[in-house]
Amino acid sequence: MIKKHKLDVVIPIGVLIKGSTMHFEYICDAVSKALMDLQFKIGVPVIFGVLTCMTEEQAQARAGLIPGKMHNHGEDWGACAVETALKWSPYVERKI
């Protein structure tokens, strides 16, 4: 899909919420490594769009769903993706 549609950047989006076992740490580590490996495999920047939260309320706040708590981290990921694409995309024409 990435090559077919000539994507400049990929943003995997998700959330991991800690439970009462150690699985949270193992899954966070595995997801981080898999996304890093994906970036090398596909040759396209991968923005880490995964919230790692202690509670569901924290996840909602970091997603911008609770007014006045925190901002929407998705906006940061999107801005990062645009900046990255403009700097590194082979599909963007640069005038020097």
Task: Identify the residue whose tokens are 């924290």.
Answer: 58
Which alpha helices (H) appear in the chain, and where do they start and end?
23-42, 56-62, 73-88
CB 28 within 8 A of CB 35: no
Q: Tokens for 90, please give them.
A: 């082979």
Q: Which of 5, 23, 71, 73 is catalytic?
A: 23
Q: Which residues pair with 14 in a beta bridge?
A: 50
Any catalytic annotation for residue 73? no
Which residue numbers are catalytic?
23
